[in-house]
Amino acid sequence: MLRLVALGHRVTLVVATSGELGIPHPEGSTEQLAHVRRQETRRAAALLGVSRVDFLGYPDSGLAGDAANATPGAFASVDVDEVATRLAALLVEERADAIVVYDETGIYGHPDHVQVHRAGHRAAALAGVATVYEVTIDREYLHFVETHLVEEAILAGDLGLARSHIGVPTVMLTATVDVTAQLDRKRSAMAAHASQIPETTSALQLGLEQFAAVYGWEWFMRHGPPGPIDDL
């Protein structure tokens, strides 16, 4: 995001839920956690130069296998075309050149991430946005560095997944972006999500070299013609 902004692109962040079923808030209220996480997201977005943040307001579906997956109205169960229509309107309003969504497994199987993938592709088609990037993780690269936050999420959620189910093989990637020059700001943006990534988490305890090895690269798969991320 920072690199795109530096090149003069306007970056908009659209958030499907408020993540209220994440790590419980000390007061035990999902409503309070939703408020906290929206504020954290806005702070992180500001650090990354994002021009606009839109919350769609759908209820969090929880991790795969949670009872919340089947809750009426939960984001993962909402009709894809409903979400896509709302998102397409934003794409048209922003005159977007490209959209970034999760890969088809939601990187690690999170139901809401998978729904973002589906709705994002559909919205791009509705809005006539030809370039769709899927953000992912190079699963082969992860074998050579410290544990990534996505792996920690899998362990914390007891999802029973292995590294072989995270992200995609290297050969499927179309863009690997070097963000080492932006790492100070990236770390600050990660730390802004303090309710989910406290300072005590292993990611924020890594030394500079180890942090750069894990988080100095970002990976994408492109559908359609080259777009802004290819310029990076």
> Any idea where the domains of the chain sit in the sequence?
2-223
Average pLDDT of the chain? 90
Average pLDDT over residues 100-119: 94
Global pTM reads 0.91
Q: How many residues does the chain have?
A: 232
Question: Which pLDDT does position 19 carry in this prediction?
Answer: 78
CA–CA distance from 97 to each of 35, 135, 229, 230 (Å)? Answer: 31, 16, 11, 12
Question: Which pLDDT does position 26 carry in this prediction?
Answer: 61
Q: Which two tokens stand for residue 131?
A: 């370039």
Domain 2-223 has CATH 3.40.50.2000: no
Q: Say how many C-beta atoms besides its own lie within 10 A of residue 192's C-beta.
A: 19
Residues 189 and 223: their CA atoms lie apart, in Å, by 28
Question: Are the beta carbons of 189 and 44 closer than 8 angstroms?
Answer: yes
